[in-house]
């Protein structure tokens, strides 16, 4: 393997981290409010609103049901509008966020449902506002579960970013496709796969460490 390929792999690692990190941040900026809405407007939520819950849930389910590669191609005009182009790492962030935000929303909803109803009732009894319950009870109590969801979201978006290499996305996926697949360089393909596996393992271990630090039950034991 020559120095050019090694340089491309390092560039691919940097582009992959850029795409995945930025996409994860924006996916959570969108997904957390959506997840909160789904939770509080549900049947057992603090502000039940069936129509709103069904509408938001329907939109989320529709987007989640579309395979990522199809979604990526389908929203090319939207990607061009936002990023000014449809190829490269920056352009790939747009479909990554669109695909990941509904996924994050459902994980956030699930995490918030794990919060003990007794804690919520106690907060209501003390006169806490809806915003205080959301911020200081629901999100605060669900931190360990949300941290686990963050690790899952990161690895999921990492997988999406690799698939984007087939349609002009940047990062390790593009290197694996352009050099490993089209040029039949098996060593390049294996190295990119190995690097992706290492990245996933590192972030999973880091996520477990963070969860252990946040989980009160583990800290008290």
- The pLDDT value recorded for residue 110 is 93
pLDDT band at residue 165, thresholds of 50, 70 and 90? confident
The pLDDT tens digits for 65-91 are: 999 989 999 999 999 999 888 888 888
The pLDDT tens digits for 111-158 are: 999 888 889 989 888 888 889 999 989 998 888 888 888 888 988 898
Evaluate whether 198 touches 43 at the Cβ level (below 8 Å).
no
Evaluate whether 94 touches 82 at the Cβ level (below 8 Å).
yes
In the predicted model, is pLDDT for residue 220 greater than 60?
A: no
Q: How far, in Å, CA of 39 to CA of 111, rounded?
A: 9
In the predicted model, is pLDDT for residue 221 greater than 50?
A: no
Query: What is the H or E stretch that residue 104 is in?
Result: helix 89-113
What does pLDDT average to over the chain? 86
Segment 155-173 shows an average pLDDT of 82
- What does pTM read for this prediction? 0.86
Tell me which of 11-15, 114-118, 183-187 is least confident: 183-187
Please determine, looking at this structure, whether the domain spanning 3-215 carries the CATH number 3.40.640.10.
Answer: no
Q: How far, in Å, CA of 214 to CA of 26, rounded?
A: 23
Q: Would residue 39 be called left, alpha or beta, if left means φ above 0 and alpha means ψ between -120 and 50 degrees?
A: alpha
Residue 201, class by beta-carbon neighbours within 10 Å (0-12 exposed, 13-18 middle, 19+ buried)? exposed
- The pLDDT value recorded for residue 1 is 56
Segment 50-79 shows an average pLDDT of 93
Q: How far, in Å, CA of 146 to CA of 207, rounded?
A: 10
Q: How far, in Å, CA of 220 to CA of 180, rounded?
A: 49
């Amino acid at each position: 393997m020559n120095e050019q390929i090694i340089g491309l792999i390092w560039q691919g690692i940097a582009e992959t981290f850029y795409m995945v990190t930025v996409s994860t941040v924006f996916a959570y900026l969108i997904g957390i409010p959506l997840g909160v809405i789904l939770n509080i407007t549900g049947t057992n939520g603090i502000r039940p609103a069936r129509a709103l819950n069904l509408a938001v849930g329907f939109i989320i389910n529709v987007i989640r049901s579309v395979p990522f590669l199809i979604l990526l191609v389908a929203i090319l005009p939207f990607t061009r509008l936002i990023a000014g182009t449809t190829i490269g790492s920056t352009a790939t962030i747009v479909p990554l966020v669109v695909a990941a935000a509904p996924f994050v929303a459902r994980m956030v909803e699930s995490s918030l449902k794990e919060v003990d109803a007794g804690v919520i009732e106690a907060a209501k009894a003390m006169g806490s506002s809806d915003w205080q319950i959301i911020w200081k009870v629901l999100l605060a109590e669900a931190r360990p579960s949300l941290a686990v969801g963050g690790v899952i979201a990161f690895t999921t978006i990492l997988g999406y970013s690799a698939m984007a290499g087939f349609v002009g996305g940047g990062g390790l996926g593009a290197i694996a496709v352009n050099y490993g697949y089209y040029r039949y360089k098996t060593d390049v393909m294996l190295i990119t796969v190995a690097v992706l596996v290492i990245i996933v393992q590192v972030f999973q271990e880091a996520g477990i460490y963070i969860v252990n630090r946040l989980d009160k039950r583990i800290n008290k034991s």
